[in-house]
Amino acid sequence: TLPCSCCLSLSLKNKQKKPIKIKKKRFFFHLHPVVFSMVEQNHSPGKELQHRTRAESPGKKNWHSQAYALGAVSNFMSTFLTFPIYKVVFRQQIHAMAVSEAVRQLWHEGPQYFYRGIYPPLLSKTLQGTLLFGTYDSLLCSLSPVGPHSLGHRWAAGLMSGVVEAVALNPFERVQNVLQDGRKQARFPSTFSILKEFNSYGLWGRLSLGYYRGFWPVLLRNSLGSALYFSFKDPIQDGLAEQGLPHWVPALVSGSVNGTITCLVLYPLIVLVANMQSHIGWQRMPSLWASAQDVWDTRGRKVFLIYRGGSLVILRSSVTWGLTTAIHDFLQRRYHSRKELKD
């Protein structure tokens, strides 16, 4: 790194120390033109952080561990805070009922059941954040080591990270959807009872009827959702950061807007997954097309009935992804600040 002006003047006065060679200065600009030009021209705090992480040397591997860790912590915190909203939305998707009726049903079951099923989503969402942010960062650095990253690079990295997420986390979502269905409480009172049921099937049955029931719509939903989120998260955040807003506001708004739009676009797939994965057992296990047709018929063959409960979906998506993005951005800033102090 270059010495500051005070150190440079002191070193010139001290004849015993070696004078600083001009070659080192030229060598710095030769190796790091991206860092110098971005810090010089861009005074936005959000962009400075983003460009600083993009311009790190491709040979360094420290971005791997910190990306996975930050994703895990941010998703854990946002999931714990927004789980009550999620459970009300799930009841709407399964029973096609109003918000007040879903809340009344949960209240009638008792407070002891209100957080029933929180452990699978808490674990799955923590793993989701670990895989989603970590895999995306790894793939993005592989596609474009130096940056700036284009829209195509962000889209491809987000799409592939969504595929990894779907393969790894579909079993968790499957167990979670069975637990949260009020009709299954008597037969399957715990996670262990559901796992015991799945393990009683044959090898193919464990995959197709058990842990990976509804995998194809989950794969399509997660891959497209991740691609949309990561493609537009940074541009929106950068545009808001230029307005001189506090550091947490651009990240919060960017995550909220992206989460809301993505969830509304993919909401029919969310309803289809919830209905497919609520079925359990060998009997009455409809195919993908039959499940989609059943959802369409149950909703009276009307699009607005499929989107019933959309108000809560907007609220949940806005809060969840807004908190996740803001917490992730805050932790990332803290990490880079500590790293600069150590250096």
Domains of the chain, residue spans: 60-341
Per-residue pLDDT, 45: 46
Summarize pLDDT for 95-154 with one digit per residue, the tens. Answer: 767 778 888 888 888 776 777 778 877 888 899 899 999 999 999 999 988 778 899 999
Residue 290, C-beta contacts closer than 8 angstroms, at least 6 positions apart = none
Q: How far apart are CA 314 and CA 7, in angstroms?
A: 55
Whole-number percent of the chain with pLDDT over 70: 78
Q: For domain 60-341, give its CATH number from 3.40.50.2300, 1.50.40.10, 1.10.3370.10, 3.20.20.70.
A: 1.50.40.10
Q: How far apart are CA 7 and CA 249, in angstroms?
A: 38
pTM above 0.75, yes or no: no
